[in-house]
Chain A
Amino acid sequence: MTGIHEADRAENTFDELDTVDVASKTPDEHQPYAELGLRDDEYAKIRDILGRRPTGSELAMYSIMWSEHCSYKSSKVHLKKFSEKNPRTDRMLAGIGENAGVVQITDDLAVTFKVESHNHPSYVEPHQGAATGVGGIVRDILAMGARPVAVMDALRFGDAEHPDTKRVLPGVVSGISFYGNCLGLPNIGGEVVFDPSYQGNPLVNALSVGVLPVTRLQNKNASGVGNVVVLLGQKTGKDGIGGVSVLASATFEDGDTDNRPSVQVGDPFIEKLLIESCLEMYDAELVVGIQDLGGAGLTCALSETAAAAGMGMYVDLDRVPLREASMEAHEVLASESQERMLLIVAPEKLDDVLAVAAKWGVLATAIGQVTAPTSEGGGRLIINWHGQTVVDCPPGSLADDGPIYNRPMKEPNDRALIAADRAETLPRPSTDDELRATVLRMAGSPNLADKTWITEQYDNMVGGNTALSMPDDAGVLRLDNSGTVGSGPIGIALSTDGNGRFTRLDPYTGAQLALAEAYRNVAVTGATPIAASDCLNFGSPEDPHVMWQFAQAVEGLAEGCAQLNIPITGGNVSFYNQTGMTAIHPTPVVAVLGVLDDVRRRVPMGFTNDGDVIVLLGETYAELSGSEWAWSQHAHLGGIPPAVDLAGEQALAAVMKRAAEVEHVSAAHDLSDGGLAQALVESVLRNRVGARIKLPDHADPFVWLFAESTARALVCIPRGHEKAFGALCEEHDVPWTPLGIVDSSAGGIEVVDHFAISTAELAEASEGTLPGLFG
C-alpha cells in the first residue's frame, strides 16, 4: 500500500512543476532550504536577489553554488593572501580563479597544472572515487586549452594495519590505475602516507599537468550574443546527485529508489575521446569559451561561463541528453555525471563542432545560447523545462556573490604542551647494532617502505616523454608536444609533498616545510622551480581550532612562496575531513613545477657509477620532533618541527641547477622523511649499487642518520669534478660534507666503524612490506 501511495505522490510532484510563475504566485510556500544546507540569512538573501521565493530548481542551484565546496565561503578571506603576496611574474597567463593556472615557459609554450581533492568519494567508494578524481582534474587542464600530459597522486590512508585500509588502498590504487592508464596519461609521481589520523578520512589528491601553445589558451567566457551553448560528452544521469544537493532526499521519503549513489561513475574511454575532440576543436579555432563539468555539474558551468563574460544565457534543458527520461529539472542541473564539457560556439562554427564530435564518436548537443546583458549590467540565466521557465536569475549571483564568512579562529589550548613534548628527549639507539636494526626497521615501516606494489599498477611511460618518475624525487617530462622528435629538449619537473605531522605540530611551519620539500625535490633533478599549486586538506571550518590551523597554513604558504619567489597558480580547499570531533592532521599538499632547459641533463636519484664521491649538502641539526623516526619507533608526535630555511633551499637549488648543467653531478636525492639513513637506503636500492660511508669525526651517528633537518640533499660527484663542485657550493654558501663513495663492492650500505647492511637485506626489509600488507 505504501508503495502505491508514494508512487502517486511522486507523480503529483512531477505534475506541479515549480516554475518562476508559480514561485511568484506562491511566496509563502515552505521550502526545504535548511535541509539543503542553506542558513536562514542565506535563504533570505536569495529571496532578496530574486525579488520572490526561488523555484525548486533555483533553490537547488543556489544551495550547490553557495556550498563550501563551490563558494569557498570559509576559506576566501584567507586565500586572498595568496594573491596579495604572490611574487610578480610575467609568466602567469592564467592564475587563481581559473580552472587551472597557466605558466608560460618559452615564447611558444605554456604549462598548466593543478591538484584537487577527491577525498570523501574515495572513502565511500574507493575505486570510482579515485578514478573520477583523476578524470575531474584532467578536464580542468583540458579546459585551459592544454593537452594533458601526465598525472600524479598524493595519497594518505589510515593505519597500514587497519582492516579498512585494506579496503580503501587497493580500491583507490586500482581506480587511479584504471582511469589514468586507459586515458593514456603517464603517472609520474606522488606520495603514499599512512597515519591513523586519516582513518575514516583518506586523502586522495590528484594532480594533472598539461602543455599548450600559448596561442591556444582557452577561457571560460560565454561571450558573444547569439553564440551557441553546446554540451559535449556523456549523457547526463542521476549519478553524483546527493553529495552537495540533498533535494531528492528532502522531497521524497526514505527508501526511495531515486536515492542513487552520490559517487560518480567514470568512463576513461569517453574522457579520452573528449580530450581528442576538444584539442581538435581548439586547433581549428572552433570554440569561443569552454568549461568542464565537475562538481555542481551544469549549474556551475552555465552560471560561471555566463558570469565570467557578464552575459546572460538561455538554456532549453529538455535538449540535454539524459540517461533516463524520469529525471527532473533540478536533477539535470545538479547531476555530476562525468566526462562532460560545456562549449560556447559561434553559430557559423556549430556544424564543424558537431562534425569533430561525430568523428570521435562523442555526443554534442546545442542546448542554448548566449543572451545580451540587461540594462543593470550582467545578464539573466533563463532555463526552460517542458516549455516553462524554471530558472530566471543573475548568473553572477550564483557564481560570484555567494556568502563569505570570517569564521571564528582559536589557537588550540594544547600548543604549549605539545611543543614541550619533544622527540629529542626520547630514548635513542645507543649501540651500532641498535643503529643498524633501526635503519632496517624504518626502511620496512609502511611510510618509508618501497612503493612498487602501488606504482607498478600505473603506466608511467605512455606518451614516450617520461624522463624520471617515481621513486625518483620528481616526475620529469620532456616537452615534445607535437609528438615529433627533436622539437626541443626542454623538460618540466613536478613534485607533490605534504607532512601532516609537521603541520599538526605547527601549521605555519608545516605548510612551509611541505612547500620547501616539493621545491627541493624539483631542484635536485636540476630543474628551476617556477610555480606552485596547493590542495589544502583540513577538518571542519566550523571548529575554531581547525580554522586557526587553516589560516596559519595559508599564511605560511603564501609567505613561503613570496620568499622563494614562486607564485601560487591556483589550488583547492577540502574541508570537513573529520570524523565526529576528530579532524585529520591538517594537511596542505603542495605541488611545485620546475623547468629544465635541457631535459637530458636531469639528475636521477640512484647511485650508479663506482667511485663517484657522495656529498651531503646542507647542515644537520638534532631535529627529531615530528620525524619518521619518532613516529615509527616511538609512536611519538610532539615538539617543534625542523626549522624552515628557505634561503638555504634557494641556494641548494642554485647549486643543483648549475651542477646539472655542467654535469658535475651524477645522482641526487633530497633528504626528508627518515633522514640520511633512508636517503642512503633508497639511493642504493634504486640501481642495486652500494656505498661506503664515513660520518665526520665530530658527528653523532644517530643524529646524522635520522634527523630531518631541511635544505639538505645527498649528491654523487663524478671523479674529477669534486673541486669544481666544492667551489660551486662555496660560491652559493651551501655547506658540503664529503661522506664516502659509491662502491658496488660494498655490497650494500657500509657505515665505516659502525655497521654494514647488505643490499639483499635492505631489499627484503623495504620491498616486502606493501606486498605483505596488500598483496
Chain B
Amino acid sequence: MTARIGVVTFPGSLDDRDAQRAIRLAGAQPIALWHGDTALRGVDAVILPGGFSYGDYLRGGAIARFAPVMETLVDAAKGGLPVLGICNGFQILCESHLLPGALTRNAHLHFRRRSQRLRVENTTSAFTGHFDAGQEIVIPVKNGEGRFVADERTLDALEAEGRVVVRYVDGNPSGAMRDIAGISNAAGNVVGMMPHPEHAVEALTGPSVDGLGLFTSVIAHLGQTAVGAGSS
C-alpha cells in the first residue's frame, strides 16, 4: 500500500509544494494538510515544510506552534508518528518542544543559500535508514535563522544519545553549535533539519539527488512498522 505523507501548509509556507513533489518522487502519496485544521487525515507521516509560517515577525515558528494542526500533531508525534521538520519546520518543532534547543539568527547575520556537504551521523531515525553511517551527502541550505543552539548539557546529551542526525562538513553555514544541521527526538521518529532535502531530489534542479534518501527512508520505515504492528 502506498504510504500517505502529509505536508502542512501554513499561510506563509513556501517549500510545501516542493515537499509534496519529493514525496511523490520517492513513491508515496502526498496529502495536503491545512494549518487551521486539526485533522491529520489518517496520514502515516508528516512533513513540516520550509517558509515563514505566519510571517515569523517574532521568531521562526514561534506562532506556528499554536496552530490548530500542531495540537494534534504534537500528540501524534509523541505517540510515534514520523515527523520531519525542514528549516521553518525544524524551528516549529523546537518551539513546540518536540525537539530541544533553538534556531537563532545566523552568526554572520545574513540569509545564506548554498549547496552544503553534510555527514549522516545517525541511520536509525525514521528518516535516515537508507543512508550509511558517516555517509556524506550534498543538500542545499537556505535560511537566515538556522543557527542551532542549546546549552552544553543538552548538546552533550544529544551527542551521547546519538541524536545528532546530520552535521555540517566543509564549513558551517550558520555558526550552528557543534556543526549541528539536524537532530531527532529520543525515539527517533521526530527529526528536524535546517538543510532542504526536498531540493535535492532531481538532477535537473538540485545539486544532487541525495535528499531523496530521507523520503525513501521514511517510506521503508513505515513498511517495517506496519509489518511489525501486524505480526505482534
Contact = CB atoms under 8 A, between A and B. Distances in A.
A464 B21 contact: yes
Interface in A428-442: none
A119 interface: no
Contact of A485 (B21, B57, B144): B21
A485 B29 CA distance: 12
Interface stretch (B127-135, B147-155, B198-206): B198-206
Contact of B18 (A268, A272, A361, A463): A463
Bin the interface of chain B by size: 20 to 34
Contact of A457 (B56, B111, B198): B111
B11 interface: yes
Contacts of A184: 14-15, 51
A465 B205 contact: yes
Of A458, A464, A483, the most chain B CB neighbours within 10 A belong to A464
A360 interface: yes
A44 interface: no
A254 to B, nearest CB: 34
A546 to B, nearest CB: 37
Given A461-B140, A600-B204, A483 B55 contact: no
A269 interface: yes
A629 B113 CA distance: 32
Interface in A474-492: 478, 483-485
B201 to A, nearest CB: 8
A767 to B, nearest CB: 13
B18 A182 contact: no
A183 to B, nearest CB: 8
Nearest to B142: A459
Given A456-B112, A463-B18, A483-B17, A182 B11 contact: no
Given A483-B20, A483-B21, A361 B11 contact: yes
A182 B12 contact: yes
A466 B50 CA distance: 17
A179 to B, nearest CB: 11
B14 to A, nearest CB: 3
Contacts of A462: 14-15, 18, 50, 142
A460 B18 contact: no
B37 to A, nearest CB: 11
A710 interface: no
A165 interface: no
A467 B204 contact: yes
B11 A273 contact: yes
Secondary structure type dominating chain B contacts: loop
B110 interface: yes
Contacts of B15: 184, 462, 464
A424 interface: no
B204 A269 contact: no
A608 interface: no
B90 interface: no
Contacts of B21: 464, 483-485
Contacts of B178: none
A599 interface: yes
A231 to B, nearest CB: 20
A467 B199 CA distance: 12
A540 interface: no
A562 B213 CA distance: 50
Contacts of B199: 461, 464
A478 B55 contact: no
Contacts of B78: none
A464 B12 contact: no
Interface in A405-461: 456-461
B52 A467 contact: no
Interface in B157-179: none
Interface string B109-124: 0111110000000000
Given A466-B205, A478-B205, A269 B12 contact: yes
A464 B205 CA distance: 7
Contacts of B54: 269
A269 B112 contact: no
Interface string A499-513: 000000000000000
A181 interface: yes
A360 B9 CA distance: 11
A172 B142 CA distance: 19
Given A184-B51, A462-B18, A464-B17, A360 B113 contact: no
Contacts of B51: 184
Contacts of B12: 182, 269, 272-273
B41 interface: no
Interface in A166-193: 174, 177-178, 181-184
Contacts of B17: 463-464, 483
B204 A478 contact: yes
A267 interface: yes
Contacts of B97: none
Nearest to B112: A456
A269 B113 contact: no
Nearest to B203: A600
Interface in A262-283: 267-270, 272-273, 276
Contacts of A183: 14
B112 A267 contact: no
Nearest to A464: B18
A461 B144 CA distance: 15
Contacts of A457: 110-113
Contacts of A269: 11-12, 52, 54-57
B67 interface: no
Contacts of A360: 11
B170 to A, nearest CB: 13
Contacts of B39: none
Contacts of A600: 204
Nearest to B202: A464
Contact of B52 (A182, A466, A485): A182
B24 A460 contact: no
Contacts of A459: 111, 113, 142
A485 B25 contact: yes
B30 to A, nearest CB: 10
Contacts of B18: 462-464
Of A273, A457, A462, the most chain B CB neighbours within 10 A belong to A462
Contacts of A484: 21, 24
Contacts of A465: 205
A367 B51 CA distance: 33
Interface in B17-43: 17-18, 20-21, 24-25
A270 B11 CA distance: 9
B111 A177 contact: yes
A599 B112 contact: no
Nearest to B115: A461
Nearest to B57: A269
Contacts of A466: 205
Contacts of B140: 461
A28 B166 CA distance: 77
Contacts of A272: 11-12, 14, 52
Contacts of B113: 456-461
Nearest to A180: B111
A600 B202 CA distance: 11
A472 B142 CA distance: 19
Contact of B204 (A182, A276, A463, A599): A599
Interface of A: 174, 177-178, 181-184, 267-270, 272-273, 276, 360-361, 456-467, 478, 483-485, 599-600
Given A461-B196, A461-B199, A464-B21, 14 more contacts: A177-B111, A178-B111, A268-B52, A269-B12, A361-B11, A458-B111, A459-B111, A459-B113, A460-B113, A466-B205, A467-B204, A467-B205, A483-B21, A485-B25
27 contacts: A174-B111, A177-B111, A181-B144, A182-B52, A182-B55, A184-B15, A269-B55, A269-B57, A270-B55, A272-B14, A272-B52, A360-B11, A456-B112, A458-B113, A459-B142, A460-B113, A461-B113, A461-B140, A462-B142, A464-B15, A464-B17, A464-B199, A465-B205, A483-B20, A484-B24, A485-B21, A599-B204
Kindly list the 8 A-B residue pairs having the minimum CB-CB distance in the complex, ordered from nearest: A184-B14, A269-B55, A464-B18, A483-B17, A457-B111, A461-B199, A459-B142, A177-B111
